Amino acid sequence: MNVNTVAVVGAGTIGSGLAVDLAVHGYQVILNDLTEQGLEQAKQTMRSDMRSYRMLVPEYREIDDEEILGKIRFAPDPAALAEADFVIENITEDYDAKARLYDRLAGICREATVYGVNTSCISITKLASRIPDPSKMIGMHFMNPVPVKKFVEMIRAEHTSEETIENATALVKRLGKQHVLVNDFPGFVSNRVMMLAVNECAFVVQDDVADPATVDKVFRLAFGHSMGPLATADLIGLDTVLNSIKVLFEEYKDSKYRPCPLLQRMVDAGYLGRKSGKGFFTYTR
């Protein structure tokens, strides 16, 4: 399959970064979100972020911002997705919301369209039941920030075809990223382990064993992590982290995934991490 046009659904942090990375690597991109306001905010974020990417990513050093933005169509109407060869979905980490979206896409997208699900924990097999041909869906867990992180965790669902895997692999390689292919189980590899660590670190802070800076320092200096779990959680978004942990708790019915009350309280208070200016740490917006 020759993929020329890729649709990205969800213009949040991951979606915006992915749209830019696709455009930089030669794809025509359709970026879809619920509102014109959300898309305008995404455009402003892209302009700001591309300045940072120039310092961090070699292939971004010579790019022209307006030329890249010109390859991205900002489309609030889902009907625009009918033109896409490949759709990568990045909306909220909630099964019901994703299921409603795929029910709608099933009536819009072409029969040959491939669907990549960018999810932390939700079953790809379960979501694939919402489209006419489940063999066309694969999990594609991009890391944040997408242009900087050269890795994708791909997830084979029960009915994912070899052709779909080949198409997804070709896209990932064109973006200059490495990948692994794992089987479909809640949380897969990365978040089955990472979310458990973040949740337990939140308990450490809640129990007054150590403050967030000390917890992260242990992971950086003792284990060689470039970023501690709590700073990582702030980068992901504490609302997304909490939703992921709730999915793991619900799917495994294992008390080790019981969400930390402190994490729930922070989300209720609007302390969502970098995107809100405050999470475990405070940020200048």
Return the active site residues. 141
As beta bridge partners, residue 5 has 28
Helices (DSSP H) in the chain: which residue ranges?
Answer: 13-24, 36-56, 65-70, 95-105, 124-128, 162-174, 190-206, 212-223, 229-236, 238-252, 261-268
Euclidean distance between CA atoms 105 and 98, whole angstroms = 10
Contact (Cβ atoms closer than 8 angstroms) between residue 233 and residue 241: yes
Which residues make Cβ contacts (< 8 Å) with residue 131, sequence separation at least 6? 102, 105, 106, 115, 137
Contact (Cβ atoms closer than 8 angstroms) between residue 256 and residue 192: no
Euclidean distance between CA atoms 120 and 243, whole angstroms = 9
DSSP state of 115: E
Strand pairing class (5-9; 28-32): parallel
